[in-house]
Every structure is written in C-alpha cells, then in structure tokens.
A and B are shown apart, each in its own frame.
Chain A
Amino acid sequence: MDLIQNSISRRDMLRTASCGFGYLALSALLTKSARADNPNELAPKTPPLPARAKRVIFLCMAGGPAHLDTFDYKPQLTNAAHPGSVFDFKRHGDSGLWISELLPQTARHADKLCVINGMHADTGNHAQSFHQLHTGELLRRRPSMGSWITYGLGTENQNLPGLISLNTSKPATYSSAFLPPAYEGTPIGINGEDMSKASIPNIGSKHLSPALKRRQLDLVQAMNREHREERPYDAKLESVIQSMEMGFRMQTIAPELLDVSTESKDTLERYQVGFKKTVGTCRASDFGRQCLIARRLSEAGVRFIEVNHGSWDQHKWHRRDLRANCETTDAPIAALLGDLESRGLLDDTLVVWGGEFGRPGLTPGNGKDETGHNARGFTFWLAGGGTKRGYVHGRTNDTGSAAVEGKVHFHDLHATILHLMGLKHDQLTFSHGGRDHRLTGPNNAKVATGLIA
C-alpha cells in the first residue's frame, strides 16, 4: 500500500487489481442498489408543478412591523380623527403603489413589489406567531419552511448547505424538527454574534495549513478507500468519502462567499454594510451585510436564505423606533432588489418581506406614540419569483385593524410560496408519529392565485 504518494492512483490500482468480471458485475449491481438505499438527500429534485421561483430570500422582520406606516396607507377619512397612518405616504412608480416616507429607497422599486395587505394570523403573541410564520404551527416544534422546501426540492449547490439562516436566535428559522437532519438549516451568526465574523460552525481552523490539511485528509481518504474496497457493497462508506471531499471544498467556498471585502466600495455603500444604528428597539444587525451575503448565497445556488432583523416591537416610541428600523433596512433591501434585477436573478428568486404580525394604527394629532400587536390584519410583500409586479393584493378595513379582502393567512402564504417553487402544499408531506404532516397544517390552505403573474 502506498497511501501517501498518490492516493488516487492507489485507488485505481486497487480497482484494476480486483477488476475481475465478477467484481465489475457486482459494482454495477451495487451502484444501482446503493442509489435506492442511500440517495443523496439534498440532490436537486424536479418539482411536480412548473416552478416560477428556484430560491427564496426571506427578509424576516421580527417584532411586527407597523403595516399602517409602511405599506398599508390609511389616510383620515372623516373629520373625526381615527386610527390610521401617522407618517406621510406617496404613490410610487408606474404602478402608483402607496409607500411610506420612511422607505424612500425601497419605494424606488415599487414596480417590483407585490404587496399583500390582507395578511392575518392566529395570535398576537410574539413567540407563537413567529413560530407559526416559520413552521405553520403555533406551539409545537415543527420543521421550518426552509426545511420543507429543501426536503421538497433539494438544493442546487452541493458544496453549500441548502438552508441558511443569517443572524438568528430562534431554531424555528432553521430546524428540520422531524424531517431528516439533511434538511436542517445552518445558522450563520447566532444570538447577536458580529455578522462580519460569523461563519459556518467549524468551517475553518487555524491549527494547520491548507496543504497539511489536504495531506491529512488524503491519508484519511486513502484509508477509507482501502476499507471500502474490502466492502464494495456499502454505499454509505462511499458517501462518507464524498461528504468529506465536499466538506473540504466547503472550507474554501463558504468563507469566500461570506467575505464581502471583494465587493466594490460602491456596493458596500449601497448595501450600508457595517451600518450600526441602535435606537430603542432597533438593534444593530449589520443588515446590509446580511442582504449582500444573501445575494451572494442565492447566486451560488443556496435554496433558502433567511435574513433577520429585529426588533420591530416598538411599543412606546413608535415614531422614533419605526424610523430607525426603516432606516436600517431600507437601503439594503433596495440594493438587494436592484442587484437581483440587474443580474437577472429576480425572475426566479422569490423575495419575501414581513414579520409575525402588524400593529394597531395610531391616531394622528392626539400625541399618543404607543402601539400594541395586531394579528388580524397586516402586510407582507413579495418580489420576483413569478409574482405580479407593482401589485397590491387584498386590503384591511379603514382603520387597518382587520383584513377584509383578499385575506391571506400564514398557511395560505406558505401554500403560495410552495406553489411558486413548484410544490403542491397538500402533497408535500412527511409521515411522523403515525400521520402525514405538512407545512400548511391539516386545514385547507389556499394558494393566493391572484398575486401570481
């Protein structure tokens, strides 16, 4: 055995040496049975429906963005003041979408947006509603939407995880729960970690030079191949060998993707990379860097990317904190939408924006600046991925307190996202605990067909 000189030729030699007729027949047989026995769970799969979107970027605005002061314009209708928008709105783009003065950059992309003003959910509790937004279920641990999608579709780049959640602190954003662990997402930047330093756990270590690491892996792989040659029946052994190579490649690819220093100064500025504003509930999340990384990951073929910014839970200082949250996210989102469009990615990338619920409107002029939670009516927007452009779907009542037309529940939103990805929500099931589970739950969710282009 000559492990070190050249492990590849060693393998070839072994193969030649044992290349009797019987061996060939056996390996052909094995390859076949091995596939059935141990398929690559993350290999891309063809969806049952024509897919409009190939990947999702979910801009998760935790805390409950105030819909009436962002995208759901509620002017005063009568002389008697009533709850509504307290910031100014203008129409934007050819579509004339109403967008708040707080989001001037996003407003430039009005004609790309598909605003859903008829969203509603089951509870005004943060934790449970956040959980339902991500998993469809209020209370119990269930797979995240991204896990369901990678379960249904696999992922395009085998050298990267299929589901990545940036700047997260909640397992609901990446947990595969009872789905096989291959569909578990990878969090990058957990619990407030500095995003400029965050990476995939154990992606690198400084204790060895890359060359030495390679030689060490060559030894491991040579031994694995030797071990495998004696057991040519076991597909699992080969898949471990391949996964080690994949992991090795990921060591180079992933840090490169996360390192935005190669981007131009202009790009970094457009995305506000490094912008840190901490005002009230608005935390510094380096949101621009997240958006830029999300673009790079989507270009590289990651199936589902979640970008997180919180908290929009502005209670007492509505005007001040909402302004800060908007200021932190507006330019990066605009830059992301612009880049996706100019790179031809927006057609098959679905961008989703929203949080666990909205907030009751304030009454202009009465000086009050404190709001609460409202799950009966609020706003999400979608862009790209086969959605209508410059379009408003559904509406809330005159005070914005409840969705009254074109109502879209979280279950319906999930069904719609799956539909755009080419998946049938009622057929994407997994059997656990004796029954078939699905992202959209046991009741009949509806695809919001009206918003599909």
Chain B
Amino acid sequence: MNLIARFLFVSSPIFVGAVNAIDIEELPPPAKHQINFKKEIWPVFQKHCVKCHGPKKQKSDYRIDVKELALEGGEMGQNIIPGKSSESPLVHFMSGLDEETVMPPKDELLGDRTVGLIRAWIDQGAEWPDNVGAKVADPMDHWAFKPITRPKPPKPGQPVDAFIVHQLAEKKLTLSPPASRETLIRRLYLIMHGLPPAPEEVKAFVNDASPNAYNKLVENVLASPRYGERWATHWLDLVRFGETHGFETNRERSNAWPYRDWVIDSLNIDKPYDQFVREQLAGDAMGAPIGTSFLVAGPNDLVKGKDPKLRIMQRMNELDDMINTTGTAFLGITTGCARCHEHKFDPMTQTDYYALQAIFAGVYHADRTLPFNSKQKAKIAELEKQISDLREKLVKYIPQSDATKLPPVNYTHNIEKFPEIEAKFVRFTITQCSRSQPCIDELEIFSGTENLALASKGAKASSNGDFKHPLHKLAHINDGQYGNPRSWIAAGKTGWVQIELPKPARIDRIEWARDREGKISDRLPIGYHIEAGLKAGEWKTIASSEDRKPFKDGKSKAPSYTFKGLSDEEALHAQSLLSSLKEIEKQLANLKSSTKAYAGTFTQPGPTHRLYRGEPDAKREEVEPGAISAFVSLKLKRDTPEQQRRLALANWITDRKNPLTARVMANRIWQFHFGAGIVDTPSDLGRNGVPPTHPQLLDWLAAEFMDKGWSIKHLHRTILLSRTWQQDGRPNPKAIAIDATSRLLWRFPTRRLEAEAIRDCMLAASGTLDLKMGGPGFSGFEVEMENVRHFHPKKSYGIADWRRMIYMTKVRQEKDAVFGAFDCPDASQVVPKRSRSTTPLQALNLLNSTFMVQQANLFAKRLKKDVGPDVTAQARRAFDLCFGRAPDTNELKDAAVFIQSEGLTQFARALLNTNEFVFIP
C-alpha cells in the first residue's frame, strides 16, 4: 500500500470471513457501449457507495472516491480487476447474488443495468480520469514532520524576546513592564525549585545592585539540586511512573525508586537530553541500566487471566503501554489508534505499530539486578578479599577429607571459576543426572561482571537434543530469566548444550543452576564437563564435576569447620575468625542484593505479527522490528537481537534529523515555564494536535537545544533571561480584549502551583522540610497487606513524612488524602499536562486535614521561636516566609488584631490557605 492509502481509513469493516462463491453465469451482462466514467460510473459511486466507503467512513478499509485507493482495494484485497469484470469482487457484491456480501446493503440494490455499466467500465480497462474524484492530502505535509531549520530571529537582541515581541507587535501589543524583584525571585524559585525563596535570599536579591544580579541568581538556582527534584515531577508524570503495580491487587513495586533518583540526577547534572532518551530505551547497552525502568514504569496486571486470550490481551496491553509512552513522551506522536487500524491523522500504519511492538517484544516487567558501579565493585572486591583471606586462615580447621575439592553441585546456584580464556564457543556436556533428563534454567558465561551468553546480546544456543515441552525450551537457556518455567531440558539422560558468543571474548567464569528460584529439586546435572574454544570442536576443558565433592542432597553448603582438640586460646581465635567470616559474607550478600531496580528484563522474542483489528486471535503477516516507516527504515531483521532493536529505535529518536524529538522537548520546557506550550497539545504534535502559536520560535528553540548539545539547562537559561519571562503578570485591559488567555505572552501567565509544590512550600514555611535526597520513599498511606492491597490515608504524620513530595511513594489509583485533590495524577496514564481544577474538596482538605492542622501548629511554633512573642514581629515573619514580602501597614495592623483575638496558629493556618501562597506570581 502506498502511504496515502495506508493513512486513510477507520476500523469498521463490516464483514470478515470467506465470500461465498457465486455463479459467474448469473451476473448481469456488461453494457455494450464505450463507458464515460465521469457521467455513468462516478455518479453511481457517489450516490450509493461513498457514505460507507468515502471520506468519513472506510468500511472494510475500502475507499472508493479516490482513484488510487479505489483501484488498490481494501481489507479483502483488490475489488476492481481492470479488464476482468466477472472476477472483480465489486461486481459480485453489487450483483446481490450473495446475500451476505450484497452491496450496497439493504434496499438500495443496484439494477442489472447499472451493474452492467460497471462491468463494461471494468472490462474496458477501468479508466478513471485524474480530474474525477477526491484527492487526499500527503500526510507528511505537516509542519512538525518537516526538518528543523534554525529560523533567524526577526530582529537582533535576545532571540526569545525577538520572536515574542514581533508577534505581539502584529497585534499591536507589547510586553508588560518588568516584574518587581520580589515577584521575580519568588516566581523563579517556585517554577524552578517548587519551593519559595528564603526571606534572606529575597532580601539579598532585592538589595543586590550589581548589573548581573539576576544572572547570578539564575545560575545559583540552576545549580541547586532542588531543581532536579522539581523538574523530575514533570518527567515522571509524562512517563506514568508509579511505585505500585496498579490494577486489582495494586501491590508494591519496591524497587522502582532508583529510576526516580536517576531522573533527578540526570536533570541535575544536565545530562544531554539525547543521552537521557537513549538510556531510557537501551541504557542496558550503555552502562546506564536504571534508565530502562522507563519501559516498565507503567501499570502491570499481576493477576494473569486464566483465559489464554485474556492473557495475550494483557501482554499486548503491556507492550502497548511501552509503545504509547515512547511515542508520546519522546516523539509527541500518538500511536494508540494504529493498534487496530491505520492512524486516522498521522502517517502511522498498522504495520508500523506492530513493528514498534517487535522492538519491545522482548521487554518484560520485572526487577533486574544491576551491574555494580565502580564504588560498589571496589567494596565487593574488598569484601571478597577479606573472605578469601579469612577462608585461607580457616582452611586448616576443615576436616582433611573435604579440604581439596569444591563443594558438590546444588540445585540453586553453581559457579565454575577458571583462568581467563579467549573463547567464542562454550559447550556444557552432561554425563550423569540426578534424575531423568537434566535441566538447566540459565547458563551464564561471564567476562568480569557481564554475562555474554544472553540471546538478547546476540549469543546463540544449540544442543544435541531438547525435551519437548512448552515451559522447557532451548531458548530459555540464555533468555536472562531464572526458574523452572524458563528452563531447558535435554532430550536424553545425557547430552550437551552449547553457546556461541557473538564474538570471541575473554571469559573467566560460568554460572548455572537447575532452578535458581529454589522450587524444584530434580534433574540436576551431577556429572559434567565444560569446554571452551575459538572454534566448535577445538575444545579445551575449563571446568568439570571431577573438581567437586560427590553429589549428596543438592543443597548448597558452606565448608564445615571443626575446632575440636584445639587449645582454648586457639579455639577462641578460630571462632572469632569464623564469626568475622560469617559477618562479612552477610555484608557481601546484602550488598549484592541491594542493587535491584524495576528496570525490566530482556529476552529474545519470537515473531511478531500484525493483528487484524488488534485482535490476538486474528494474526496476519509477520512484521520486522521497526519505527514509523514514513520517517525511517531501521533496517532490522526478524531475528535482530533484542537489545539492538531498542538501540536502533533510540538512535533514530535522538538523531539530529528526527524532526520531532527536539521540538517536543523544547515545547515541554516552554510549557512548564509559561503554563502552556507553544503547542498546547504537548504530547501530540501530529495533525490532530493544536498548531503552534509561535512556530518560528519553537523551531529556533529546538535548533538551539540541539546546537548546544541538547542541554536542558541551557534552554532554561535562554528562557529565564528573556524579558518575556521576567515581565510582570498583571493585567492590561487593552491586551485582554485582544488576547484574553495571554497566549501571545503580553504578560507572564500566573497560575496555581501543582500539588507537590504546594505541599513542599507549606513544609518550607513551617520549617519542617527535610531535604534528604534519594533512596526509598516515604508512604502517605497505611497499607493493609491483603492480597488486594488497601491504602488508608495516614492518620498522623511525623518527621519521616516531611521530605519533598517527589519522595512520597507513588501509589497508583490512590491519591494523597490532602494534595491528591490538587490534580495530582495517579500514574495510571501518561500526563503531559496537568489539569488545574478548583473544587470544594480541595478547600476542605486545606481547611480540615490533620496534615494542615499539624503544619499550622508547627508554623506557629516556628514563628514564636524565630521572633518571640511580639505579634507584629510574628506577622512580619509570617508574611516573609509565606509570600516573600512585607505586609503593608493595614495588613500588619489587621494581622496583629487577628493573632491577638484568634491565636497565632489560626493566623498561620489562614496564611497557608491563601491564594497568594499557592499562586505563581
């Protein structure tokens, strides 16, 4: 199908299945004269067909009013076969000889004469003049799909201002005057940190007479770790990050938080955005393993349906979530439609959708053990050294008979160490088994800490015979997944399995087990040897069961030490060595298990098929992994290793030539500064999205972004230093009449803070905010640990709850009892732009919640502590902390009266409830 054709239909085919054979002899005869298409055929199509097969509907994926599409056919294939009217399905349908497929349906049956005309037209070659019928637009003819150029700003000076002022001038508008310094610093802190500036910082800035006072302030703000914490919230919304699985049981996802910290850190160190993106799609290939948590940050249904179709739907939904999040977050393209039919608006075909599915088809929701970072590696090496030293010292206390050999094989984990050797092939030959045919759940071949045997890295497994069973497959031997359900069993009681590495490598260790999950105790290879070589056949034995003590019960065992017959002093010494050993072994085990992250696991996937209407049981042709074919061919094959698929996608998305990526991100950054993006549908830059208000500015920002090494902080700086950003936010009747929503930015658009920032600001005002960064979060709920988790809002709060809200464990489908009502998303779907609702429930939460009552008390205490009992001083301090300004004379007088009559706590609470406190000025 050509691109135009692909892009143009919706999902409402009316018939599926075989067309009944009809008797060709019964067809009305063709007309005898030369047919004029425009006069005789086209009116028939218009009158009878276009209602269901025209611009609005394309039933059976067929459109008849556009020449190319009409001749090409639909879901059922070609409908018009030029020269062969008796074989053309269109004629069969129109003849009405088959009741099931009669067209047009119902009582509109065309007469024999009309069918005869159509037959004649087809027989005469189905000539269709180019000037008859509808034309369709080229879907690639859309601003966001065109290359990003670097438009020249319309006048010299600050480029952002140049574009904005130019467009304002077209409407006879101008920028507002600069905002006051008090306003400016408050706005800067609220937007960039989500926290108010300290009163001392306000004072210093207001009094800073140096010409670069504001520039210095901007640099300080960008350098603060509070920046990453604030802007990470925006990113986590966008990628539906949550710390429970969602769905029915909504269990905890305890190892999800490393991704949150990774995002915060990436922003703080100003990781180039292209790298930031690549690491989220394929960080496992570039030493940034936590990044791939992005792929599995969404909800995951833990209760798999018993019905196989439902199970497949669940898996399809998991993959859809990855495709959709990748499409919207990075590319600003919606993909959901193409799961069932060609995209209605954008150049995305259904095949593209399944090509993307093939990219992610090997990604599974799971914790992954991460490779150790250099600090961890050093610590591990140190502990291992201590352990081996201690073992050496203790070796003389092992009874002689046991001392020389390795421990016997066990079911759950066996390590074979050998001197480093260069190899491309490794063969594991089993000569004896504990019971029936031998089983191995995963064979790992290490070079240092990297397992090279994974199929997802291109390694290939072979054997001399496999046991046939759905759970036990050769592919499971190197799929990166442990446990009996993902294991290999040999065909016979002896046999071999072999791994061919993608290229020769220096290897020094092999690890294998029967069942690392420890559930099954049978089928253990107990007699075996392992060989390696650069070519298959040129083997060198590197490990064997001969080096081990004889197999007993398959349980993993530490060597036994005996201190009998020693002097008391020596026994005591030996005992203390042994307890040190045990302690260090425990430390090592803890360290090794502490590096899990919910970053997904990867396995080489089987074939991916296009699914007709997205139905799992309607498989169509197999598709290669790929992206959106109208933009790029990734040149991947059906058997391209899993990791390379994601890598190829990541490289295309971050290619400078990709027209979407930089535009999408520049627009997002703009949106979080000004409350609305240049494109107001930030995750849809396609044809169905809203056009940009300032297309030239957006392209300039996107080009500048890439030219400055995809630096997000550079983009912030550019925006923050503009007069546009620094102007006042107050009204101007003339401008309102022309541009009521301030989209042209004749003023700074003020708005309410997001839930997280409101909470953080309150804690900052009351002086309770704990700025501890990173690590597992705190919980806003008391959790009832039933099979289906129930989350009850906490009834009381303590110090542990006073960290920034980004560190509050993000429970899906539940909202924080106080701040959830402030449009805080629940991580069930991607949120590119939060809504800003105003509801009485918000007011109630602020008026009555335990949290607020407590914070008001603490705020009042702080005020007393800061300035003592004088009510005027208390009021001044409270205004400083809450609003970053001094009260005017009347406010001060009234505040003092209120504090005296109602108490300081009530006053404190009132201040935290005001609009001025929660609005970005």
Contact = CB atoms under 8 A, between A and B. Distances in A.
**Do these two chains really belong together in a complex?**
yes
Contact of A191 (B301, B344, B684, B790): B790
B902 A234 contact: no
A141, A204, A205, A433: residue with the most chain B Cβ atoms closer than 10 Å: A433
Interface stretch (A73-81, A171-179, A395-403): A171-179
B340 interface: yes
A243 B839 contact: yes
Interface stretch (A61-69, A211-219, A307-315): A211-219
Interface string B891-914: 101100110011000110111011
Interface stretch (A93-101, A121-129, A356-364, A377-385): A121-129
A189 interface: no
B915 interface: yes
A241 B840 CA distance: 10
Nearest to A251: B844
Interface stretch (B222-230, B362-370, B534-542, B734-742): B734-742
Interface string A208-250: 1000110111011001101110111110110111011011111
A452 interface: no
Interface in B34-51: none
Contacts of B752: 236, 240
B269 interface: no
Nearest to B317: A139
B915 A240 contact: yes
A201 interface: yes
Contacts of A181: 821, 823, 835, 837, 839
Contacts, number: 210
B32 interface: no
Interface string A121-162: 001010110000000001111000000000000000001010
B848 interface: yes
A348 B843 CA distance: 32
Contact of B828 (A30, A141, A247): A141
Given A220-B910, A243-B840, A231 B853 contact: no
A182 B910 contact: no
B838 A240 contact: yes
For chain B, give the interface size range: 35 or more
A232 B303 CA distance: 53
Given A4-B894, A175-B813, A243-B838, A434 B736 contact: no
B334 A435 contact: yes
B280 interface: no
A21 B499 CA distance: 86
Interface string B315-356: 001000000100010000111110010001100000000000
Contact of B736 (A26, A140, A207, A213): A26
B894 A232 contact: no
Nearest to B248: A127
Nearest to A234: B750
A251 to B, nearest CB: 7
Contacts of A434: 328, 333-337, 345, 684, 686, 688
Contact of A125 (B306, B835, B902, B916): B306
Given A26-B733, A200-B841, A243-B839, A207 B919 contact: no
A91 B531 CA distance: 83
B480 to A, nearest CB: 26
B130 to A, nearest CB: 33
Q: Which 10 A-B pairs have the closest CB atoms?
A: A434-B334, A247-B843, A1-B890, A247-B840, A33-B740, A233-B731, A246-B840, A205-B848, A127-B248, A141-B828
B307 interface: yes
Interface in B846-868: 847-850, 853
A213 B913 CA distance: 12
B324, B830, B909: residue with the most chain A Cβ atoms closer than 10 Å: B909
A17 interface: no
B632 interface: no
B313 A237 contact: no
Given A41-B837, A181-B821, A435-B334, A244 B843 contact: yes
A140 B317 contact: yes
Contacts of A205: 847-850, 853
B96 interface: no
A171 B740 CA distance: 38
Given A215-B906, A247-B842, A434-B686, 4 more contacts: A4-B897, A125-B306, A223-B915, A240-B752
20 contacts: A33-B741, A128-B310, A141-B813, A175-B813, A190-B790, A201-B817, A201-B841, A201-B845, A202-B849, A205-B853, A212-B902, A215-B906, A216-B906, A219-B902, A220-B910, A240-B752, A243-B838, A247-B843, A251-B847, A434-B328
A86 B109 CA distance: 52
Contacts of B914: 220, 223-224, 227
B829 interface: yes
A450 interface: no
Interface in A31-64: 33, 36-38, 41
B334, B843, B913: residue with the most chain A Cβ atoms closer than 10 Å: B843
B817 A202 contact: yes
Contacts of A30: 736
Nearest to B613: A442
B844 A217 contact: no
B913 to A, nearest CB: 5
Contacts of B750: 231, 234
B837 A25 contact: no
Interface in B299-315: 299, 301, 303, 305-307, 310, 313-314
A4 B898 contact: yes
B751 interface: yes
A89 B269 CA distance: 74
B835 A191 contact: no
B741 A37 contact: yes
B813, B836, B838: residue with the most chain A Cβ atoms closer than 10 Å: B838
Contacts of B751: 236
Contacts of B729: 231
A433 B334 contact: yes
Contacts of A180: 835, 837
A203 interface: yes
B146 interface: no
Nearest to B857: A207
Interface in A245-300: 246-251
B888 interface: yes
A29 interface: yes
Contact of B898 (A3, A38, A237): A3
B392 interface: no
Contacts of A208: 906
A222 to B, nearest CB: 8
Given A178-B829, A239-B838, A233 B736 contact: yes
A171 B733 CA distance: 45
A343 B561 CA distance: 87
Contact of A29 (B305, B736, B823): B736
A229 B752 CA distance: 17
Nearest to B919: A237
Contacts of B306: 125
B838 A236 contact: yes
A375 to B, nearest CB: 11
B637 interface: no
Contact of B843 (A22, A243, A432): A243
Contacts of A442: 11, 340
Given A2-B894, A177-B828, A435-B334, A201 B793 contact: yes
Contacts of A236: 751-752, 836, 838
Contacts of A219: 898, 902, 907, 910
Interface string A373-395: 00000000000000000000000
Nearest to A177: B828
Contacts of A140: 317
A247 B343 CA distance: 44
A70 interface: no
Nearest to B912: A220
A167 interface: no
